[in-house]
Amino acid sequence: MNLFNVYPLFNINPVKAQGSFLWDDKGEKYLDFYGGHAVISIGHNHPHYQTQLKEQLDKISFYSNSVQNELQTELADKLGKLSGLENYNLFLCNSGAEANENALKLASFHNGKSKVLYFSGSFHGRTSAAVSVTDNPKIVAPVNYSERFIKSEWNDIEQLEAIFEAQGNDISSVIIEGIQGVGGIMIPTVEFLTKIKELCEKHNTVLILDEVQSGYGRSGYFFAYQEFGIEADIVTTAKGMGNGFPVGGVLIHPKFQASNGLLGTTFGGNHLACVAAIAVLDVMKNENLIENAQKMGEYIENEIKDFPHIKSIRRKGLMIGIELDRDCSEVRSNLLYNHHIFTGNSNDKAVLRILPALNIRKEETDLFIGALKTVLENL
């Protein structure tokens, strides 16, 4: 059997990883400045993470959601404390798309409405409803398309108001990323988010914050939207939550009523996933990683801001978009093949996306800064 060929692959085969570095099968070392798509939050193979998972393997790896699982309770407790959302309830699942799928469904169960408002540039995952609110026609199959999903322009308050004026009574939820990642690190204005919140309250519409990429400390806040002082009805998370172990979560405001069977999953909240997610929170707290994300992000921006060919830098914490005066693909492959540094791109071809681990060290950022300087000066 062959693999279904959907991924354009670099010809690199990593076989070992530690902290912010990877080694391939030829022993070549690479600096990971992309965290495997914003997944590596506490660094590869963090010793605490490794020990906790290994110890759990000796105890129990899985049983279904029909029995008590104290690890789920511990995870919810620690997540509530570190995120400041202690009064929310947690539903555990396996990925970002699944978290959004459940959030959209829960909103619709809650208010009985069926339309969803989403924004240009959005990416919310590839499952049914999640891909319907993703702004990329290439990945929305006919089976996913419906006029119930309404697109509004990013940061455009006038259009938002007009849509609510016309259809507000039918809009079940608004889904928005705390910071758009795939869209090219697009930061919402405080006026935009505040207006969304106001319109949602007025029309009994659920506000869903997709923090799958911008959450878990990446922005220098636990969730990026928290900087803006608004309250979300539902927050979704995944990626950095398990540092590579597949785990997602839906954080649900106490006003939502749970009932037996309303949501469900086979694998969500399994013992290994919980241990991985608890280890991530422990490390984030004990090593002050949110503070480090703020500090290192600021340092990188200050060091690179005057480099040639950079048009603008869009950044919160360690979620960094470097907008070049051209397509970034040459710079990206130069960084990878000549300097052994992984970076990312985005739907905006000019934007180089930088998402290092939250415990990145200054000397590691200096490797990236030096390499980027060389590459940009030689364009």
Ligand X SMILES: Cc1ncc(COP(=O)(O)O)c(C=O)c1O
**CA 41/CA 352 separation, integer angstroms:** 19
- The alpha carbon torsion through 166, 124, 102, 98 (nearest 10 deg) reads 160
Residue range at the interface with ligand X (CB under 6 A); choices 210-218, 222-230, 264-272, 315-323 = 210-218
Residue type at 295?
K
- Indicate which single residue of 20, 41, 52, 213 sits in contact with ligand X (rule: CB under 6 A): 213
23-30: long-range contacts, CB 8 A cutoff, minimum separation 24: 28/340, 29/340, 30/336, 30/340, 30/341, 30/342
Q: Which is nearer to ligand X, 37 or 81 (CB)?
A: 37
Residue range at the interface with ligand X (CB under 6 A); choices 41-49, 81-89, 121-129, 253-261 = 121-129
Q: Are the C-beta atoms of 358 and 318 separated by less than 8 Å?
A: yes
Counting contacts by CB under 6 A, is residue 233 touching ligand X? Answer: no
**CA 117/CA 151 separation, integer angstroms:** 6
Counting contacts by CB under 6 A, is residue 240 touching ligand X? Answer: no
Binding mask 42-71 for ligand X (x = CB under 6 A): ------------------------------
Q: What is the largest CA-CA distance in the chain?
A: 61
- How near is the Cβ of 38 to ligand X at its closest, in Å? 7
Counting contacts by CB under 6 A, is residue 97 touching ligand X? Answer: yes
Q: Are the C-beta atoms of 248 and 99 separated by less than 8 Å?
A: yes
Q: Which is nearer to ligand X, 167 or 347 (CB)?
A: 347
Counting contacts by CB under 6 A, is residue 135 touching ligand X? Answer: no
- How near is the Cβ of 248 to ligand X at its closest, in Å? 6
Q: Which residue has the tokens 């990446």?
A: 218
Counting contacts by CB under 6 A, is residue 41 touching ligand X? Answer: no
Counting contacts by CB under 6 A, is residue 131 touching ligand X? Answer: no
Q: Which is nearer to ligand X, 72 or 102 (CB)?
A: 102
**Phi and psi angles of residue 116, each rounded to the nearest 5 degrees, phi first:** -130, 135
Q: How much helix, strand and coil, in percent to the nearest 5, is found in the chain? A: 40, 20, 40
- Indicate which single residue of 30, 33, 34, 123 sits in contact with ligand X (rule: CB under 6 A): 123
Which spans of this chain sit near ligand X (rule: CB under 6 A)?
Answer: 37, 95-97, 100, 123-125, 177, 181-182, 210, 212-213, 238
